[in-house]
Amino acid sequence: MLDLLAAAGQRPVFEHGARLVSGAGMLDLVRRLAAGLRAAGIGPGDGVAMMLGVNPEAFAANIAGHVVGARVVGVRPGLPEAQTRHVLTQDITAVVTDKDITGPTVLSLNELVTASANEPELLARPDNVARLIYTSGSTGIPKACAQTYAAMSSAWTARPDAWPPAIRELASRLSRYLVFGSLSSQVMMEYGVLTLAAGGTMVVADPPAFPDAIVRLRASASVITVPRLNKLVAAQRESPVDLSSLRALMVSGSPLPAARLREALDVLGPIVFHGYGQTETGTISMATPFDVPGSVGFPPDVIDVQVRDGNGEPSPPGVDGELYVRTLRRRPGTGRSRPRPRRCSSTAGYARGTSATSTQTAGCT
């Protein structure tokens, strides 16, 4: 990530209103925030909760947390009080925030960024947990999914030479990628890093109203949920606006019925990508606008997928079953325990494999 920012130089990588931050400027923010964290006693293995908005300093703070080798925990805005309390009591050393919050473990982002920028010393240890990504908590207490620094380093997001074909197609469309809601979102952050690796700019959508933000900010790409996509399609049918800048909508969070996808492609054009994955596994596969509706594309070679029957045995092509995924990237955990690599995880959704190894889903994503 630091190499990406250094290579960007004076090219804008983050746009927030009238403010443009270059790669060199973002790297300076990362260096200052890393120095501030070290001065506050934060180092390898320490849990750091990020309660931040969507701005250049918030993005830099997440990167700085990894520079000092901390275990970074993003706290989603709007989380109920009980769930927030649960997250913040899971071996958290400090809370970094740009909110008006005080406490013995609270570090002000505005104060941290005043530190002198030094050449960052990477303190991360491969086996340490790099970040905890929490599930939504829709069924109770959010569950943490742990990812080590070794696993994070193996990810293809920041390495164009390792991009699967669908990601390479998507990356070519990320010249102006909208960010909103929270940078602690795994989806928002990963596509943000992909944008920078592709030579694009992260653009803050404030407010994130569609289609207004797309038109106003000349956005080329954004993530979008299925309900929001349906609303955008309906609005474009009823009162069309100029969406000529838009080249990619990455749909995730729930299944996209084939009929809905066909309608979206008909109204919006060939711009809809359908990502399939979960918090525990990250992206499993992605369908491009040119894939058959109903498919979620082809998993890259580094991810093993298998459709199994009710007895846990492999299902033959064309037969429904439950999808199992094996990945190096993460597993559910508390953060202090070392994640086991190559863990097999059920997606809790149903799927059908084809002889060409693409996947059709009939359950949750």
Q: Could you state, in order of their start, the residue ranges of all structural domains in the chain?
A: 15-147, 155-361
CB contact at 8 A, 220 and 212 = no
CATH of domain 15-147: 3.40.50.980
DSSP annotation string for 217-265: HT-SEEEE-HHHHHHHHHHHHHS----TT--EEEE-SS---HHHHHHHH
Q: Quote the pLDDT of residue 279.
A: 63
What the block records as the tokens of 298 is: 């082809």
Topology alike, domains 15-147 and 155-361:
yes
Give exposure, 324-357, as e/b (b: 16+ Cβ within 10 Å): bbebbbbbebebeeebeeebebebeeebbbeeee
Which one, of 256, 259, 195, 209, lies nearest residue 8 by Cα? 195
CA distance 246 to 267: 13
* Chain CA centroid to CA 87, Å: 19
Q: State the angle between helix axes of 258-268 and 226-238 in degrees (0 to 180), rounded to the nearest 10.
A: 40
CB 180 within 8 A of CB 204: yes
Per-residue pLDDT of the chain (365 residues; tens, 9 = 90+): 999 999 999 999 999 999 999 999 999 999 999 999 999 999 999 999 999 999 999 999 999 999 999 999 988 888 888 888 888 888 899 999 998 877 778 999 999 999 998 887 888 888 899 988 887 777 778 888 888 898 888 888 899 998 999 999 999 999 999 999 888 777 888 899 999 999 999 999 999 999 999 999 999 999 999 999 999 999 999 999 999 999 999 998 788 899 999 999 999 999 999 988 766 667 788 899 999 888 888 887 778 788 888 888 888 887 888 878 777 654 444 444 443 333 444 444 444 444 444 444 444 33
At 133, which helix (H) or strand (E)? strand 129-134
pLDDT at 2: 92
Cis peptide, bond prior to residue 207, ω within 30 of zero: yes
Output the CA torsion sign for 351, 162, 122, 5. negative
* CATH fourth-level superfamily of 155-361: ANL, N-terminal domain (3.40.50.12780)
For residue 230, give every residue at least 6 positions away whose Cβ sits within 8 Å of its Cβ, in sequence order, or none.
260
DSSP letter for 139, please.
T
CA 51-55-57 angle, 5° bins: 75
